[in-house]
Structure 1
Amino acid sequence: MTIRKSNTYLSLVNSYLIDSPQPSSINYWYNLGSLLGLCLVIQIASGIFLTMHYSTHISLAFDSIEHIMRDVNAGWLIRYIHANGASFFFICMYIHIGKAIYYGSYKSPRILVWTIGVIIFIVTMATAFLGYCLVYGQMSLWGATVITNLLSAIPFIGNDIVPFIWGGFSVGNPTINRFFALHYLMPFVLAALVLMHLMALHIHGSTNPIGITGNIDRLPMHNYFIFKDLVTVFVFIIIFSLFVFFSPNTLGHSDNYIPANPLVTPASIVPEWYLLPFYAILRSIPSKLGGVIAMFGAILILLSLPYTDKSIIRGNAFKLLSKLSFYLFIFNFILLGNLGQLHVEVPFIALGQFATIFYFAYFIIIVPFISSIENILFYIGNYNK
């Protein structure tokens, strides 16, 4: 027996990265998991270096970012890697979630994997929001003000929670100190959640695009799948480098390069692009409390999929109606993202409300209805044979 199998610690690495049996039919969409792990490492590493030069005082926060960009050796590179890394993190995460929905990766016996994944998604959004506020540009200040103010909609305790988070009566020095402390801590919480995600996945292994059991034909993780992951890692690094070196500000908002001024309100207050679909859902509800519930509900409703999907066949590879509804859902999600950055005016108000209704209807009505119809068609087809 080799040392990698007999040693206590190496055997653990071996069971996850070398001998781990994977379905031979999994495609490149399954590589997003390794890319997300790479993104997390990039964000933690670049973030640690940024903290060495960042100041949490509101009078110095924006200037300390400029100091990093102009005076620190390769500071511009570290800052652009961290800023664009957040966007690429969410690009990979949204594709990863889309893949899981398309291939039915949330179905039993992988409900725990899906649940931990949704928690990772929520924690990542919170971490990104806190980090965006630390720049203390115009959009950082007003974004922090608007989003934290949403908690005032909570009945009875909302008006007490907001000043508690602020540490005063507006976003100020205590707020930035608290956001910085949490932003530094939460990536390590994310790393722990990722390990839990992998442990839960390891119990039953990955799904496959076909939707039937992959136990019949499996290959070890190394060297076929490790090499396959490296292909997408190199593609990711190339695209990521193009943004970092040639177009570093494309995914950011121009107003955040203006120092924060609490006396001047920006023409339109929008969060980063990866939060826009949920911001559009928030704005589509006239009631403040209703908007907050809808925004958080839009994320938490992902947890309902293992129970609302009644299909006896995993995934959408061979299901025409489910495939069509899935692509409509993706189009609707992109539409919500676009509406989130537009002014609240006709016709975008009504369009946002229709898109929000469709978003929730997909999980509550469309998925259970279509999956039930396809089950009936499946039984009829088998009976006629």
Structure 2
Amino acid sequence: MVYSFRHSNAMMKGVSSIVYDLPAPVNISAMWNFGSLLGACLLFQIVSGFFLVMHYTPSVELAFYSVGHIIRDVNSGWVIRNCHVNGASLFFSCMYIHIGRGMYYQSFTFKHTWWVGTTIFLLSMMAAFLGYVLPWGQMSFWGATVITSLLSAVPYFGPDIVAWIWGGFAVSDATLKRFFVLHYLIPFVVSGLAVVHLIFLHQTGSNNPLGVMSHADKVPFHNYFTIKDLIGVFIVWGVIFFLSVLFPMWLMDPENFNPADPMNTPLHIQPEWYFLFAYTILRSIDSKFGGVVALGASVLILYVLPFYPKNCFRGNGFYPVSQYFFWYFVGVFMILTFLGACPADWPYHSMSIVASISYFGFYVVNPLMMEVWDWLLGVSEKVNN
């Protein structure tokens, strides 16, 4: 009994030190709220998904109709389903802003925190793709067929990998069941990695807009930032309910309201909007293998950022030219997202090639420009991270 009390007391002190009494920079802005907003969105997705699982049937004969049953027959089922779908879009909106903030202020210098966060991003993309397949509509079926068949471009082992994922020689009932199980389990893995992400973050401390070490000028996380985070959480949840009640179908593809038909290919197959930037890069390369490599590189390149050379100042705020390149990169990202929803014809295909080159060029040109700026200023001392 005494041991149990001491053990729980030690755990409470440990949790308090990394959450309640965590020293946080006094000057962090609202851009640092998106980490907590992502946690709120993840919790919302897990809870809403838990209720959807009670009524969903992972079978090619019944999956589409079980979704209709949830919407029409289950009490408040339409609200839960719409919240789950729109919550995924809001989750990735917060994710992209969170990653962009980390790139702008060079938070990737905390390499372990950044690598765990990038892994969370990859797993979240995987879970979202798997979830898009579960309604088993036309776009779900053909999206799964097209995306998974890309792995056949892997030399030697590609066809075997595709057959293993499909559970046969085509997307079928075995595929749907595997996707359902993985979609259910991955969010819990993401939750565990989120805890690891926070542990690494609290060991190194948070970055701040000035990019300077501010150990002498910090305040406890509570109540200065918990109140601000809670306000953001309620706003995000309000936006989810607002979209789900007033604009429930705004981000859904109309083609997915038709049951999956392997004999009828949609005119234009495209993934959800948060995958369109990578989808555009894939389509911009005529070679199938080259497209798959570029698709993977468009996300995996985030793992390379911690190896960038350290600059004299942390963050683009002290580099006017780099600020221009960063916002140019944001514009390129939006253009790639737009082009992914366009036909792969002229002039969209030519624009996709230019935008894809610009996307990867940013990761090369921007650090070089920061090095040149340090050289022009005649500053040689690098920031100590």
Q: TM-score, normalised by structure 2?
A: 0.95
One-letter amino acid of the structure 1 residue matched with residue 185 of structure 2 = L
1:376 CA drift (Å): 1.1
Q: In the alignment, which of 103, 106, 127 is matched to residue 104 of structure 1?
A: 106
1:331 aligns to 2:305 (yes or no): no
CA RMSD in angstroms comes to 1.7
The corresponding residue for 1:266 is: 266
Whether the aligned pair in 1 keeps the contact of 2:23 and 2:220 (CA below 8 Å) is: yes
What's the CA shift for 1:319? 1.6
Q: Name the structure 1 match of 2:254.
A: 254
Residue 340 of structure 2 aligns to which amino acid in structure 1?
G
Greater shift, 303-312 or 368-377, is seen at: 303-312
| 1:213 equivalenced with 2:213 (yes/no) | yes
Tell me: CA distance 1:362–1:5, structure 2 relative to 1, closer, same or farther (3 Å).
farther
1:40 and 1:202 mapped to 2: Cα distance?
Answer: 20
| Runs of 4+ residues deviating >3 angstroms | 3-6
Deviation of residue 8 (structure 1)?
Answer: 1.4
Counterpart position of 1:316: 316
Q: 2:17 aligns with which of 9, 15, 18?
A: 15
Q: Does 1:137 align with 2:137?
A: yes
What is the match of residue 32 of structure 2?
30
Q: Give the one of 48, 51, 57 matched to 1:49.
A: 51
Q: Does structure 2 retain, via aligned residues, the 8 Å contact 1:113–1:200?
A: yes
Identical aligned residues as a percent:
47
1:83 paired with 2:88, answer: no
Post-superposition CA distance 1:10-41 (Å, at most 9, x none): 11221122100000000000000000000110
Residue in 2 that maps onto 1:376: 375
Partner of 1:122: 122
Moved more, 306-315 or 173-182: 306-315
Give SS of 1:219's match.
strand
Q: Which amino acid aligns with 2:279?
A: Y
Count how many residue pairs are aligned between Structure 1 and Structure 2.
Answer: 377
1:91 is displaced (CA, Å) by 0.4
Deviation at 1:155, TM superposition (A): 0.7
CA contact (8 A) 1:311 1:374 kept: no
Q: Which position in structure 1 is the counterpart of 2:348?
A: 348
1:169-208 equivalence runs, <5 A = 169-208=169-208
**Paired residue secondary structure (1:317):** helix
- 1:375 aligned partner, one-letter code: D
Deviations 1:257-278 (A, max 9, x none): 1111111111100000000000
Separation of aligned partners in 1, 2:220 and 2:130? 40
**Conserved 8 A contact 2:374-2:380:** no
Counterpart of 1:239, as a letter, is V
- Uncovered stretches (5+) of structure 1, i.e. residues with no partner: none
Q: Show structure 2 runs of 5+ residues with no match.
A: none
Q: 1:157 to 1:381 in 2, by over 3 A?
A: closer
Normalising by structure 1, what TM-score? 0.95
The 8 Å contact of residues 24 and 221 in structure 2, kept in 1 or not, is answered as yes
